[in-house]
Amino acid sequence: MFGFLNKEKRRRKLKEQPFPEKWSAVLRTNFPLYARLSNEDREELHGHIHVLLTEKTFEGCDGLELTDEIRVTIAAQAALLLLHRETNYYPELHSILVYPETYVVEAEEIDEAGIVHEFDDDRSGETWEQGSMILAWDEVLEGGQDLADDFNVVFHEFAHQLDLENGEIDGIPRLGSKEHYAKWTKTLQDAFLLFRKDVRRRKRTAIDPYAAEDLSEFFAVSVESFFEQPLRLKKTYPALYKELSEYFRQDPASWSGS
- Render 60-107 in DSSP notation, one character per residue: E-TT----HHHHHHHHHHHHHTTTTS---S-TT--EEEEESS-EEEEE
Q: What pLDDT score was predicted for residue 130?
A: 81
Question: For the CA atoms of the chain, what is the radius of gyration?
Answer: 18
> What stretch of H or E contains 154?
helix 153-164
What confidence category does residue 2 fall into, taking pLDDT thresholds of 50, 70 and 90? very low
Gap between the Cα atoms of 148 and 118, Å rounded: 33
Gap between the Cα atoms of 36 and 254, Å rounded: 10
- Say yes or no to pLDDT of 110 above 70: no
Instruction: Identify whether the C-beta of residue 156 lies closer than 8 Å to the C-beta of residue 223.
Output: yes
6-10, 25-29, 132-136, 141-145: least confidently modelled range: 6-10
- Say yes or no to pLDDT of 108 above 80: no
The domains found in the chain, sorted by start residue, are 167-258 (3.40.390.10)
The per-residue pLDDT for range 194-239, each reduced to its tens digit, is 999 989 988 888 898 999 999 999 999 999 999 999 999 999 999 9
How large is the average pLDDT for residues 173-189? 94
What confidence category does residue 137 fall into, taking pLDDT thresholds of 50, 70 and 90? very high
Torsion of CA 108, 131, 187, 36, to 10 degrees: -110
How large is the average pLDDT for residues 62-74? 97
Q: What pLDDT score was predicted for residue 107?
A: 59
Ranges of beta strands (E only) in the chain are: 57-60, 95-99, 103-110, 116-123, 125-127, 132-136
Which range in 23-27, 163-167, 206-210 is most confidently predicted, on average pLDDT?
23-27
Q: What pLDDT score was predicted for residue 218?
A: 97
DSSP state of 173: -
What is the CA angle 145-237-159, rounded to 5?
50
What confidence category does residue 183 fall into, taking pLDDT thresholds of 50, 70 and 90? very high
pTM: 0.91
- What percentage of the chain exceeds 90 in pLDDT? 76
